[in-house]
Amino acid sequence: MNGRFEVPVTALEGVTWRKSRHSGKWGNCVELAALDDGTIALRQSREPQGTALICTRDELAAFLRGAKDGEFDDLVR
């Protein structure tokens, strides 16, 4: 994505957004999409036409490892 860390979602036409099966039906979900350059886009489903954050696969993998290890549990209690 040309070194940018955030982009308008409208610039990401044609991507397939995915969310966790644990997400609620009330639109408060984080959604992810794989981009052609190998990076990952993240967006908030409450604002589907807002801004997407862009990260590498390694960055996302490190975050997910931390989440699985409970490093962020205090943020959701």
Give the pairing of strands 40-44 and 18-19.
unpaired
pLDDT band at 26 (very low <50, low <70, confident <90, very high): confident
pLDDT tops 60 at residue 1 = no
pTM: 0.84
Closest CA to 35 of 18, 16, 48, 51: 16
Helix (H) / strand (E) element for 67: namely helix 57-68
3 has pLDDT over 70 = no
Specify the pLDDT at position 28. 77
What pLDDT sits at residue 23?
A: 83
